[in-house]
Amino acid sequence: MSERPTAQELTEALLEFLGGEILPTLTDHRLRFRMLVAMNALSIVYRELEALPVEAAKIRAGDVPPGTLRHVKADVEARLRIASPRYLEGYREAASE
């Protein structure tokens, strides 16, 4: 996995491209609205990516609220149930270790 560009840098570049190059050319009101919605979603992703290093640093420092591991395991299980049900049993076995 390459370190540069980061996911946050890619998101920022995409927002700049869409806002500076594509959005000004859209004359169809429906397409313009959909582009603005997409750009808003990308902005949310950007902000979430911005928070990840802070959260990772807190976890590495041992600043983990009680119940976090249980919550993360439940979240992974729920995602696997939807995305890869056949791997769920293997995940359950690994998570119980």
* pLDDT tens column, 4-62: 898 889 999 999 999 999 999 999 999 999 999 999 999 999 998 888 887 778 878 88
Give the pLDDT of residue 10: 94
Give the pLDDT of residue 93: 72
Give the pLDDT of residue 2: 58
Give the pLDDT of residue 39: 97
Q: What does pTM read for this prediction? A: 0.59
For 56-87, how does the pLDDT look when each residue is reduced to its tens digit (9 = 90+)?
A: 788 788 888 888 888 888 888 888 888 888 88
Rounded to whole angstroms, the Cα distance separating 40 from 33 reads: 11
